[in-house]
Structure 1
């Protein structure tokens, strides 16, 4: 299934490349590379997971089990004159991959 700006859905795994300071640089989704525009403000925020519903069982000291990380960035498909799209990304606690929440 292809996720396109015309039919955004959520929950697709994406690869995100970050700069040394932790800012997203590029997103790989559905075989395409989307370059984050460095001149447009990006937003980062955290929400809390409902830990009492997930019932994670881990040893003490494993890490943060409740902070869900989000990024919203403006990116364009590789190519000089392509249209910008807003990507909202999310990473669950202990997840190894980012998920694409929406494209608009």
Structure 2
């Protein structure tokens, strides 16, 4: 059986429920609720936005304009469903999460 990686559009609206520390616990996508598997390790990192390409300007003191937050979490629809890996992104100064990618759980790497 081959596995296929699905790339989600960056404008895809997500609702992400987090714990007090900001770690995702559940994700609502396409009217389905995906639960983050507590027995798997979630990966969290920050990347840098290419501000020179976007030509965004901001007033002094308006906050961090370059740090993009990422989470890679393993999720499932129910206790008997297969694990999937979601990579989530939140752009600088945004409260909206975006879905970068969805893949089968066995396709993940420890590169980050």
Map 1:28-39 to 2 at 5 A: 28-39=28-39
Consecutive unaligned residues in structure 2, runs of 5 or more: 104-112
Is the contact made by 2:89 and 2:98 (CA closer than 8 Å) also made in structure 1?
A: yes
Consecutive unaligned residues in structure 1, runs of 5 or more: none
Is the contact made by 2:36 and 2:74 (CA closer than 8 Å) also made in structure 1?
A: yes
1:13, CA displacement in angstroms? 2.3
Structure 1: distance between partners of 2:72 and 2:79 = 21
Question: What TM-score comes out, normalization by structure 2 length?
Answer: 0.81
Is the contact made by 2:5 and 2:101 (CA closer than 8 Å) also made in structure 1?
A: no
Question: Per residue, is there more strand in 1 or in 2?
Answer: 1
Cα deviation per residue 1:35-62 (whole Å; 9 max; x = unaligned)? 0011100000111111111121211111
Cα deviation per residue 1:48-77 (whole Å; 9 max; x = unaligned)? 111111121211111100001110000001
1:6, CA displacement in angstroms? 5.0
Is the contact made by 2:17 and 2:24 (CA closer than 8 Å) also made in structure 1?
A: yes
| RMSD, matched Cα | 1.5
Structure 2: distance between partners of 1:20 and 1:56 = 30
Question: What TM-score comes out, normalization by structure 1 length?
Answer: 0.87
Structure 2: distance between partners of 1:90 and 1:54 = 17
Comparing 24-33 with 13-22, greater Cα deviation is found at: 13-22
